[in-house]
């Protein structure tokens, strides 16, 4: 693959969204290329040094999302859906204390919010029940048509 070449850093980057890679967002033209990204260990060190209680130890880190187009590492916590964003080139903390509401909504949707047993046992049963309801509803809808067609066929056969 090819590396994306980013525009050079300029102070306008922080105020003017039209400057940088993404015309819809400011703050996306940190100086450096993908080759200049800091190693993940420095990202982890920066997150742990930030002092956020959701990131007390390395075990609190759920995942690190890399956004090369924005030169950002989004570090997600296992605790409370917290997120810290780290500049991928400098290692500077860009935002802290964010709550990932989309992850909260997703965990409610898939049942994991209520516990692993809900996600692993109850949700598959719910999906099987839903498939059963769809199938039985389809049969209740089509069965009268099948019955009428059989009656017409019998009436035709007995008339001849």
What 3-state DSSP class applies to 121? helix
pTM recorded for the entire structure: 0.57
40-96 tens-digit pLDDT: 999 999 999 999 999 999 999 999 999 888 889 999 998 878 999 999 988 989 888
59-68 tens-digit pLDDT: 999 999 998 8
Edge-to-edge, what's the strand order for the sheet holding 61-67?
Answer: 61-67, 72-77, 82-87, 93-99
C-alpha closest to that of 72 among 32, 19, 12: 32
Full 3-state SS string of 23-48: CCCCCCCCCCCHHHCCCHHHHHHHHH
């Amino acid at each position: 693959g090819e590396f994306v070449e980013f525009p050079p850093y300029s102070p306008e980057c922080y105020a003017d969204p039209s400057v940088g890679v993404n015309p819809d967002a400011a703050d996306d033209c940190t100086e450096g290329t993908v080759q200049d990204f800091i190693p993940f260990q420095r990202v982890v060190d920066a997150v742990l040094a930030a002092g956020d209680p959701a990131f007390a130890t390395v075990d609190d880190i759920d995942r690190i999302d890399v956004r090369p187009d924005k030169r950002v590492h989004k570090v997600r916590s296992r605790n409370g859906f917290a997120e810290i964003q780290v500049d991928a080139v400098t290692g500077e903390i860009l935002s802290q204390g964010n709550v990932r509401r989309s992850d909260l909504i997703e965990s409610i949707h898939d049942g994991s919010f209520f516990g692993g047993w809900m996600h692993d046992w109850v949700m598959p049963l719910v999906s099987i029940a839903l498939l059963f309801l769809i199938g039985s509803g389809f049969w209740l809808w089509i069965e009268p048509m099948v019955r009428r067609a059989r009656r017409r066929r019998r009436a035709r056969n007995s008339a001849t």
